[in-house]
């Protein structure tokens, strides 16, 4: 089942005897687990009929013994196994899945990695009509803006495109981190606010004027004064702008510019998909491709790789690298 289908069924009180959530993206697994934990039983019966246990504290035998108990003063018992990836030898659980207790809802939250699909256990659970299986995959970078917009829309907010790009660039694809930052942002804003860059800076702490996104714009626009001013800000605030974070982000940007140059002429949606960016931001890469030749971009990518290695201590005792970044910025613009 998809995430949306599981949420809809839970809302309609359509429950499965066993839920198996697994995958590399923990956020969706946590969301579904929390939804089951908070919504199936009412407060009066939760203390008697709901158990939350952890895979590193129990054996599969203990999980099954708990699942085979009958509910007290209610129709269902809920057994949630968090960190289920820590369980060893799943044979007992396989046997339980074949004949689960109808009054028990067993949740196995197997986080941070997907199950080896060659294993007998995976074939057992996917072949069972008693189990709802959901694989939580890492969201691609180009889907992050849509995720942010959708989460904000659910709460009655919308966001300007530049503020959206600023968040997407800086927060990466860690959905848990994004959700935490959104909560921090929204708690301080009135309902129905249209979120802009000032809101992001005031509530999340990402500078709207001195960030990698603005540095990229300065380079594309060949504004050397602005670019050097931004690098000076980075140097003055190294804790918030470590060179080890900046270099990969710039490298990623120029790699996408290079790919854009090679894909020029294709439909915009195809280019956006191939280079892994949201269509919202494609114009930035189009402008960069016009500003720098493919040969120039290849040279920048090589220089950024060397700077990245140097910032990590390879052939250098200096891990700050801001002077090297200033040199590179000058070289890019000349």
Q: Is the dihedral of CA 58, 63, 69, 74 positive or negative?
A: positive
Over the stretch 225-241, which tens digit does the pLDDT of each residue have?
999 999 999 999 988 88
Residue 15 and residue 126 in one domain: yes
Looking at the structure, do residues 178 and 263 belong to the same domain, yes or no?
Answer: no
Q: Where are the alpha helices (DSSP H) in 59-102?
A: 60-67, 91-98
Q: What is the pLDDT of residue 318?
A: 60
* Domain interval for residue 153: 141-203
Average pLDDT rounded to a whole number, residues 83-87: 93
Matching residue, tokens 């946590």: 30
Joined together, the tokens standing for residue 163 give: 């503020």
pTM of structure: 0.78
Q: What CATH number is attached to the domain comprising 275?
A: 1.20.272.10
Do 7 and 29 touch, CB atoms closer than 8 A?
no
One domain for residues 186 and 272 = no
Domain co-membership, 155 together with 196:
yes
Total domains, the chain:
3
Task: Give the span between the Cα atoms of 244 and 307, in whole angstroms.
Answer: 9
Same domain assignment for residues 148 and 245: no
DSSP 3-state of 244? helix
**pLDDT tens for residues 247-259?**
999 999 999 999 9
pLDDT in tens, 114-172: 888 888 888 999 899 999 999 999 988 888 999 999 999 999 999 998 899 889 888 88
Domain match, 228 and 326 both: yes
Please check whether residues 158 and 121 belong to one and the same domain. no
Q: Within this chain, do residues 184 and 220 fall inside the same structural domain, yes or no?
A: no
pLDDT at 91 over 80: yes
Residue 74, pLDDT score: 86
pLDDT digits (tens, 9 = 90+) for 310-331: 888 776 656 567 899 999 999 9
Tell whether 119 and 146 lie within a shared domain: no
Residue 174 belongs to domain with CATH number: 1.10.8.60
What is the spatial distance between Cα 195 and Cα 199, in angstroms, rounded to a whole number? 6
Yes or no: say if 332 and 301 are a contact pair by the CB < 8 Å rule.
Answer: no
Whether the Cβ atoms of residue 25 and residue 138 lie closer than 8 Å to each other: yes
In tens, the pLDDT along 7-55 reads 999 999 999 999 999 999 999 999 999 999 999 999 889 999 999 999 9
Contact yes or no for 21/112 (Cβ under 8 A)? no
Q: Compute the half-sphere exposure of residue 261: CA atoms within 13 Å on the CB side of its CA.
A: 16
Domain with residue 128: its CATH number is 3.40.50.300
CA-to-CA dists, residue 287 to 6, 165, 220, 222, 240, angstroms:
42, 16, 7, 11, 28
Please count the CA atoms within 13 angstroms of the CA of 146 that sit on its side-chain side. Answer: 9
Distance CA 237, CA 218 (A): 19
Do residues 189 and 241 share a domain?
A: no
Supply 37's token pair.
Answer: 């934990």
Q: What is residue 260's predicted lDDT score, i.e. its pLDDT?
A: 95
Q: Which of 162, 181, 203 is the last residue of a domain?
A: 203
Supply the pLDDT for residue 152: 95
Same domain? For 169 and 269 the reply is no
169-210: pLDDT as tens digits: 888 888 999 999 999 999 989 989 999 999 999 998 888 899
Report the b/e string of 283-308 with b at 16+ CB within 10 A: ebbbebbebbeeeebeebbebbeebb
Same domain, 294 and 240: yes
Query: For 237, phi and psi rounded to 5 degrees?
Result: -130, 60
Longest dimension (CA), the chain: 77
The residue among 78, 103, 136 that closes a domain is 136
CB atoms within 10 A of CB 184: 12
Name residue, tokens 């894909």.
263
């Amino acid at each position: 089942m998809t995430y949306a289908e599981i949420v809809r069924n839970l809302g309609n009180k359509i429950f499965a005897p066993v839920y198996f959530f697994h995958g590399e993206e923990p956020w969706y697994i946590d969301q579904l687990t929390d939804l089951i934990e908070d919504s199936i039983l009412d407060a009066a019966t939760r203390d008697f009929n709901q158990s939350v246990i952890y895979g590193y504290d129990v054996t599969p035998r203990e999980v099954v013994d708990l699942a085979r108990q009958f509910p007290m003063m209610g129709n269902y018992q809920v057994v949630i196994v968090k960190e289920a990836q820590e369980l060893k030898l799943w044979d007992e659980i396989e046997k339980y899945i074949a004949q689960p207790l109808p009054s028990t809802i067993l949740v196995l939250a197997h986080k941070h990695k997907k199950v080896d699909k060659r294993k007998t256990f995976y074939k057992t659970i996917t072949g069972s009509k008693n189990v709802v299986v959901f694989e939580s995959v890492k969201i691609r970078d180009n889907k992050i803006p849509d995720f942010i917009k959708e989460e904000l829309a659910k709460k009655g907010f919308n966001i300007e495109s530049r503020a959206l790009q600023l968040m997407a660039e800086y927060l990466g694809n860690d959905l848990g981190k994004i959700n935490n930052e959104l909560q921090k942002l929204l708690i301080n804003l009135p309902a129905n606010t249209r979120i802009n860059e000032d809101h992001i800076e005031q509530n999340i702490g990402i500078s709207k004027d001195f960030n990698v996104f603005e540095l990229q714009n300065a380079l594309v626009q060949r504004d050397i004064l602005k670019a050097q001013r931004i690098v000076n800000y980075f140097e003055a605030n190294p804790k918030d702008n470590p060179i080890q974070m900046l270099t990969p982000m710039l490298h990623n940007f120029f790699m996408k510019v290079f790919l854009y140059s090679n894909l020029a002429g294709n439909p915009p949606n195809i280019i956006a998909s191939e280079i892994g960016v949201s269509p919202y931001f494609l114009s930035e890469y189009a402008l960069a491709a016009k500003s720098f030749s493919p040969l120039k971009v290849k040279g920048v990518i090589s220089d950024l790789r060397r700077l990245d290695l140097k910032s990590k201590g390879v052939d250098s005792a200096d891990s700050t690298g801001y002077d090297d970044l200033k040199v590179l910025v000058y070289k890019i613009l000349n």
